[in-house]
Amino acid sequence: EMELVESGGGLVQPGRSLRLSCEASGFKFNDYAMHWVRQGPGKGLEWVSGLNWNSASVGYADSVKGRFTISRDNAKNSLYLHLSSLRVDDTAFYYCAKDMGASGFGFDTWGRGTLVTVSS
Amino acid sequence: QSALTQPASVSGSPGQSITIACTGTSSDVGSYKFVSWYQQHPGKAPKLMIYEVSRRPSGISNRFSGSKSGNTASLTISGLQTEDEADYYCCAYAGKSTGVFGGGTKVTVL
C-alpha cells in the first residue's frame, strides 16, 4: 500500500525557518514527481511546490518563491520542504502528495499532513 | 498564478446530477490536458476523483465524470448520494512546472 508520512511541523516565530520531511513507502519513489500542497485553517487547498523524479524540473507558487526550497533524496525515499522567512499567512497543514506520473498534476496519494503554525 | 474560479456551493437532492465548473485562463485550464478534481471530507486528506480532465482512477465510481471546454473544466456527479457531501477542488497545470487549485466548492446533499 502506498503511504506518505509528513513530519517536521510545529510552532515557529515569524522570520524563522523550518524543514518538513515526507517519507514514502509502498511504491517506487524515484519513478514519480512529488509535490507539497498546503491548506490554511478553514481555507482551500494551495499548491506550494513540486519537482520531477530527478529534480531537474522544479516549480514554486508565487507566494513562496524565493522563501521555500523543495528537494528529494531518492535513496531515502524522502521529500523535503525547507521553509524560510516564514510569515503568519504560511500557517497551514502541509501535505505531501504523489503525482500519478511525470508531473501530470494528478495527486493520487496524500499524507495526513503536518501543521505549521507561524506566530510570535 | 491566480486561483481557478469555482462556485462556493452547489446543492442537489439524492439521485440528481450536479455540475461544478472550474474556470481558469488560456495559460492553465485552456492550454493543457492536466486538470484534476479532488474530494475532501472534513478533517481528511483530499482524494483524487478525476485526472487528465476526464480519467477516473481505479476505484472511483463512474458517477463522477469530468470534461473541459476552452478555459472551463467541469465535474459532474450523477446519482447524487449522501456520501458525496464534501468539498471539491479542481487543480490545473499552469506551465513551467507549476500548478494552481480552485477555491473549492461545498457540495450539499439536500
pLDDT computed for residue A61 by the predictor: 97
pLDDT computed for residue A52 by the predictor: 94
Residue B3 Cα, gap to closest chain A Cα (Å): 9
pLDDT computed for residue A104 by the predictor: 81
Q: Residues A14-53: pLDDT tens digits?
A: 999 999 999 999 999 999 999 999 999 999 999 999 999 9
Mean pLDDT of A78-106: 94
Return per-residue pLDDT of chain B as tens, 110 residues.
Answer: 789 999 999 999 999 999 999 999 999 999 999 999 999 999 999 999 999 999 999 999 999 999 999 999 999 999 999 999 999 999 999 999 999 999 999 999 99
Give the nearest chain A residue to B98 (CA atoms).
A59
Contact A95 B45 (CB under 8 A): yes
Using a CB-CB cut-off of 8 Å, the residues of chain B touching A58 are: 97
pLDDT computed for residue A101 by the predictor: 77
- Give the separation between CA B108 and CA A79, rounded to whole angstroms: 36
Confirm if B69 and B59 have CB atoms less than 8 A apart: no
pLDDT computed for residue B1 by the predictor: 75
- Give the separation between CA A81 and CA A73, rounded to whole angstroms: 12
